[in-house]
Amino acid sequence: MAGRRANHDTLARVLWEQTRQQGFVHLYTGDGKGKTTAALGLALRALGRDRRVAVIQFLKRTSIKTGELVFAEKMGTPSFTIQQFGASHFASPQERQKVAASGQTVERGWRRARELAGNGKHDLLVLDEVTHIVKNGQISLDELLELISNKAASLELVLTGRHAPPELIEACDYVTEMREIKHPFNRGIRARAGTEY
């Protein structure tokens, strides 16, 4: 009896370890605030466990840096990087021209995302606002689904953005929908540094 119990415990530990090393796919979607915040919270948790984390943010570049980008630059560690590709929806025409001239385009960001997803050098990869570049037609849904299918087996992949299509929801392991109930923006209060960006 004791021998059977020991074998069961050993098998349970092996299965747990295999599951722990398997990377899952997370999706934070919906019209509420908190998608990027949740993804960055998961990144912070991974960093606390000495994991290597990369974040690619699509459609967020402006002349004003986001708080998370400032934080990553202050840390100055290769274990945590954030790269931004494509001008923000809130960017001025001049900022859009500057982003295009810099070469930090959505297309370049997508190539970088595919590289990071497949090379096995990171434990967690966040593709922030990736559903928007699908909705805008800058990449196809099939391309995103292919990235998910071909990612490194141990990579934890986190996707964010509104308007997630059903096929994407089906392909993910964790799906959370953020639903807006109340937001100060609706009372005319602008985005605040350190909270919204």
pLDDT digits (tens, 9 = 90+) for 63-121: 888 899 999 999 999 999 999 999 987 788 888 888 888 889 999 999 999 999 999 99
State in words which class domain 23-187 has.
alpha beta
Report pLDDT for 1: 60
53-61 sheet: strands from edge to edge: 80-87, 53-61, 124-128, 156-160, 25-29, 174-177
Report pLDDT for 40: 97
Report pLDDT for 97: 87
For the chain, the domains span 23-187
22-67 tens-digit pLDDT: 899 999 999 999 999 999 999 999 999 999 999 999 999 888 888 9
Measured distance CA(98)–CA(61) in Å, rounded: 10
Measured distance CA(76)–CA(56) in Å, rounded: 16
How is 44-102 classified by DSSP, letter by letter?
HHHHHTT--EEEEEEEEE-SSPPHHHHHHHHH--TTEEEEEEEE-TT--HHHHHHHHHH
Does position 14 have pLDDT exceeding 70, yes or no?
no
Report pLDDT for 64: 84
Report pLDDT for 188: 85
Measured distance CA(122)–CA(51) in Å, rounded: 7
Query: Stretch 151-164: mean pLDDT, rounded?
Result: 97
What pTM does this model have?
0.85
Report pLDDT for 12: 65
